[in-house]
Chains A and B, each alone.
Chain A
Amino acid sequence: MSGAISGYMVFAWSGVLLFGLGLFGFIAHRHLLRRLLAFNIMGSGAFLVLVGLAQDGRGVDPVPHAMVITGIVVAVASTALALVVFRRWYRASGRTDLPEDT
């Protein structure tokens, strides 16, 4: 049993690691495409936590799967919207990052 738990927990901890890496990239980078990629890595991390943590000793649980599929749809839609806004911004200003706050 403990073997099974630690086996599943690997996914959850990898998810936390991915989320952390993504968060670092999201904050550290200024290029909007990089920040968008970092956002997607964070999202994958959150999905891994969602699936990995919930499998912990309770047998296969279909609910997190349904949630992750919904989450992926949301992430795809967000990424598409971000790409459109980014392209428009790049065409209008010629910049790949956002101007700093004043």
Chain B
Amino acid sequence: MIGLWSVPLLFALPLALGILSLLVAPAWRARLIFIGLPLLVAASLDVLAGLATAGPQVYRLGDWIAPLGINLVVDGLAVGMILMTTLVASLSALYARVYLRDHPPASSFFWPLLWFLWAGMNGIWLAEDIFNLYVGLEVMGLAAVGMVALRATPQALAAAMRYLLAALLGSLAYLLGVALLYGAYGTLSMAGLQEAATNNATTQVALALIILGLLLKTALFPLHAWLPPAHGGALTPVSALLSALVIKGSFYILMRLWLVLGPEVTPELTAQLLGVLGAGAVFFGGWMAWRQHHLKQLVAYSTVAQIGYLFLFFPLVTNTSPEAARLAWDGTLMMLVAHALAKAALFLSAGNLILAVGSPQISHLVGISRFRPMSLFSFGLAGVSLMGLPPSGGFTAKWLLLHSAILSGQWWWLIVLFLGGLLSAAYIFKVFRMSFREGPQIDRSVTPPLTLDVVALVLAASAIVIGLFAHLPLHWLRMGSMLGMG
């Protein structure tokens, strides 16, 4: 068993750093990333190496036996999410270290929250039982709410409060579902549920509660109202973390549970309904994004739209051929990872543009292309992936989903994929049209520190590169997956 020392480290280390950063003087808090980031990168790579050599495995924390001990699952999906988190969160942390110099009160609390957020996310990716998923959701959710409130303006506080109320309601619905499942089957582990779960009224009520709770936390249309003010109004590195990673946590749980319960339990009607809501999200989110006047609100509504694509997973894997289901799995995960990279890049480069012109209004971007070509280039690269143009990750994802839809005979999802792409193009080009227009409004711009531009560019470039070399990550992500493919 190579490399297993790093599995518990993935959430123990961020927790320890979170507590440590509260103990040290505020000036030292940011510097802890120089210890934390290399260690977390090493641990993530070690877990990947362990997966590549030894295959998927279950890790028993402290060698205690479940249900009193905690089992961690180290399969392709979990490792893929861990690597995505490490990449996006590390780069966002580097960005934040520079960005937060102008926000001293916020910066002293950003760092502990970042580590707790990280611990919660890694806890979710690794958890094998539905109760520890709940604990992970709460740790992640509470840290995220704290991050939204960092700006401490009335708008930010209202957004944080609304976010908190939605998150609390969502997790209680999820918890009640967990209670029903435990009462019915006496097990919390995914493997145990996979064996025991049958199609009866208790399971269906529990499933409905869990789905509703997780949809609220994932902000699927029409339960998305809390997302744009929270993501759009937060400090820029916070927006990137929340939009790229946090909403994926609850989606990940839903995806895993759906596959664990299997086609005997998961109703096809619900799958189609989730797909329809996803389509609604793509259209409504895209339309609303196009109508925004604030740059970061536009990007936040773009997240509402992109969440919709993820939910095409459910109709495409439920009662379809194994080949279609496999393509849907690949496509959804590629979409998830590509969106994480592209959205983080989009938020960070939007933040750079806002720093440059000193205004969040899109109309004030007139003429900025002459001054900040690099920020705009990152924004464009990330936009290419969001629109789904080749050769980006977003394109590969949509291509796989499109094939899956054709194979399973559900042609109506093609309309969603095409129109969604057009809508994304509309709102991305809205920003570009402003930037390239020559106008009298601006004859100078503030130059943001180089680190900020470089981080955004690296993220945007990875969103493109992952589309070019998609076969390798997809191969890893398939390892030990519940769709029964090697």
- A: which residues have CB within 8 A of B? 12, 15, 19, 26, 32, 35, 39, 42-43, 45-46, 49-50, 53-54, 56, 58, 61-64, 66-67, 70-71, 74, 77-78, 81-82, 85-86, 88-89, 92-93, 98-99, 101
Tell me the B165-187 residues at the A interface (CB within 8 Å). Answer: 165, 168-169, 172, 175-176, 178-180, 182-184, 186
Q: A63-B67, A86-B161 are in contact. List 4 more A-B contacts (CB 8 A).
A: A15-B179, A46-B175, A53-B182, A63-B68
Taking a contact as CB atoms under 8 Å apart, the answer to whether A54 and B186 are in contact is yes
Q: How far is the CB of A24 from chain B (nearest CB, A)?
A: 12
Q: A82-B164, A85-B160, A92-B157 are in contact. Are A56 and B183 (CB under 8 A)?
A: yes
Which B residues lie within 8 Å of A43 (CB)?
172, 175
Q: A46-B172, A54-B182, A74-B135 are in contact. Are A98 and B145 (CB under 8 A)?
A: no
Encoded as 1 (CB less than 8 Å from any A CB) or 0, chain B from 134 to 163 comes to 110010001001100100111001101110
Chain B interface helix/strand/loop/mixed: helix
Q: How far is the CB of B263 from chain A (nearest CB, A)?
A: 26
Q: A35-B165, A92-B157 are in contact. Are A54 and B183 (CB under 8 A)?
A: yes
Taking a contact as CB atoms under 8 Å apart, the answer to whether A19 and B188 are in contact is no
Taking a contact as CB atoms under 8 Å apart, the answer to whether B146 and A81 are in contact is yes
Decide yes or no whether B225 CB sits under 8 A from chain A: yes
Taking a contact as CB atoms under 8 Å apart, the answer to whether A85 and B183 are in contact is no
Decide yes or no whether B399 CB sits under 8 A from chain A: no
Q: A43-B172, A46-B176, A54-B182 are in contact. Are A98 and B131 (CB under 8 A)?
A: no
Taking each of A54, A62, A63, which has the highest tally of chain B beta carbons within 10 Å of its own beta carbon? Answer: A63
**Which 9 A/B pairs are nearest by Cβ-Cβ distance?**
A53-B183, A50-B179, A89-B157, A92-B154, A49-B179, A74-B138, A46-B176, A93-B154, A46-B175
Taking each of A12, A45, A62, A67, which has the highest tally of chain B beta carbons within 10 Å of its own beta carbon? Answer: A67
Taking a contact as CB atoms under 8 Å apart, the answer to whether A78 and B168 are in contact is yes
* Set A54, A67, A88, A98: member contacting B149, Cβ < 8 A: A88
Taking a contact as CB atoms under 8 Å apart, the answer to whether B135 and A70 are in contact is yes
Taking a contact as CB atoms under 8 Å apart, the answer to whether B142 and A32 are in contact is no
Taking a contact as CB atoms under 8 Å apart, the answer to whether B168 and A82 are in contact is yes
- B: which residues have CB within 8 A of A? 67-68, 131, 134-135, 138, 142, 145-146, 149, 152-154, 157-158, 160-162, 164-165, 168-169, 172, 175-176, 178-180, 182-184, 186, 188, 225
Q: How far is the CB of A47 from chain B (nearest CB, A)?
A: 8
Which A residues lie within 8 Å of B176 (CB)?
19, 45-46, 49
* Set A12, A32, A42, A77: member contacting B172, Cβ < 8 A: A42
A and B contact pairs by CB, cutoff 8 A, 29 listed: A15-B179, A19-B172, A19-B176, A45-B176, A46-B176, A46-B179, A49-B179, A50-B179, A53-B180, A54-B179, A54-B186, A61-B186, A63-B67, A63-B182, A66-B68, A70-B131, A70-B135, A71-B175, A74-B135, A78-B138, A82-B161, A82-B168, A85-B160, A85-B164, A88-B152, A89-B154, A93-B158, A98-B161, A98-B162
Which B residues lie within 8 Å of A54 (CB)?
179, 182-183, 186
* Set A39, A42, A81, A93: member contacting B142, Cβ < 8 A: A81
Taking a contact as CB atoms under 8 Å apart, the answer to whether B142 and A63 are in contact is no
**Residue in chain B with minimal CB distance to A84:** B149
CA distance A45 to B145 in the complex (A): 24
Q: A19-B176, A26-B169, A70-B135 are in contact. Are A89 and B183 (CB under 8 A)?
A: no
Which B residues lie within 8 Å of A74 (CB)?
134-135, 138
**Residue in chain A with minimal CB distance to B183:** A53
Q: How far is the CB of A45 from chain B (nearest CB, A)?
A: 8
Which A residues lie within 8 Å of B162 (CB)?
98
* Set A26, A46, A77, A85: member contacting B157, Cβ < 8 A: A85
